[in-house]
Amino acid sequence: MTHILRLAPSILSADFARLGEEVRAIEAAGADLVHFDVMDNHYVPNLTIGPLVCEAIRPHVKIGIDVHLMVEPVDALIPLFAKAGANLITFHPEASRHVDRTLQLIRDHGCKAGLALNPATPLDWMTHVMERLDIVLLMSVNPGFGGQSFIPATLAKLREARRRIQVHTLAGGQPIWLEVDGGVKTGNIGEIVAAGADTCVAGSAVFGNPDADGGYRSVMDALRRAARTA
């Protein structure tokens, strides 16, 4: 694949008691983004972190914070996350009454905007909002938990999403990143990138391995190597 690969470790699998240290460590190890999973025990059956935690980690890193909202409703949290230092905000379209409006709201607050699509959510949600998208996130597991297995049907979906993005950019449209989230490991990142992903979230693959020789650096280098050799 010719496009560059961005790695976005998900702090869902980090040590929450040492979050500042953890995000500094992944930045030093070459992470491109901090992936920040927000769960509300309503849209998904789990509860995680909100704008206060985003604000707390913001001064610890220079890289962008990639906020993945798994919440319903969506809109009220957007100004709060923008103020807390988010750079990129994705949400699940089923969780917003007015998807076009929510995308605009994110950009109006100075962040890059995107849709997060569950395994069974069709790509068609992209169709009428292409101009408003900076990123599309394809879930390769059902949202709610780290450490699940990659759903193979995501590969065909990635290829089709890449095709649609290419048609859009070749016609003069803005670039749109294609992110994959869930179950990304050294054993499958090659085929994921070959299918068209340019941004890969990795939670348990990175943070589940704190004692590896060379720490997070060696884990992330291994992911990049595996991505290249596919």
Span from 65-73, 148-156, 170-178, 211-219 in contact with Zn ion (CB under 5 A): 65-73
Residue placing its CB nearer to ligand DX5 in the complex, 51 or 182: 182
Residue nearest to ligand DX5 (CB): 203
List 37, 66, 134, 198, catalytic entry? 37
Is 112 an interacting residue with respect to Zn ion (CB under 5 A)? no
Residue placing its CB nearer to ligand DX5 in the complex, 114 or 183: 183
Q: Find, among 187, 174, 136, the residue nearest to 157 by Cα.
A: 136
Retrieve residue 139's tokens.
């879930």
Residue 166 Cβ, how far from ligand DX5 at the closest point, in Å?
25
Name residue 47's amino acid.
L
String marking each residue 12-51 x if it binds Zn ion according to CB under 5 A: -------------------------x--------------
Residue 107 sits at the vertex; the CA angle it makes with 101 and 110, to the nearest 5 degrees, is 150
CA 61 vs CA 52, 111, 203: distances in Å: 16, 17, 18
Report yes or no: 92 and 103 within 8 Å, Cβ to Cβ: no
37 is catalytic: yes
Name residue 53's amino acid.
V
Report yes or no: 33 and 67 within 8 Å, Cβ to Cβ: no
The residues of the shown chain that bind ligand DX5, judged by CB under 6 A, are 10, 12-13, 35, 37, 68, 141, 143-144, 146-148, 181-184, 201-205
Residue placing its CB nearer to ligand DX5 in the complex, 94 or 100: 94
Residue 116 Cβ, how far from Zn ion at the closest point, in Å?
7
User: If you search the block for the tokens 């309503």, which residue do you land on?
Assistant: 42
100 is catalytic: no
Name residue 42's amino acid.
H
**How is 83-121 classified by DSSP, letter by letter?**
HTT-SEEEE-GGG-S-HHHHHHHHHHTT-EEEEEE-TTS
Report yes or no: 19 and 11 within 8 Å, Cβ to Cβ: yes
Please select the residue that binds Zn ion; options are 27, 40, 66, 181, rule is CB under 5 A.
181
Residues designated catalytic: 37, 181
Q: Which residues bind Zn ion (CB under 5 A)?
A: 37, 68, 181
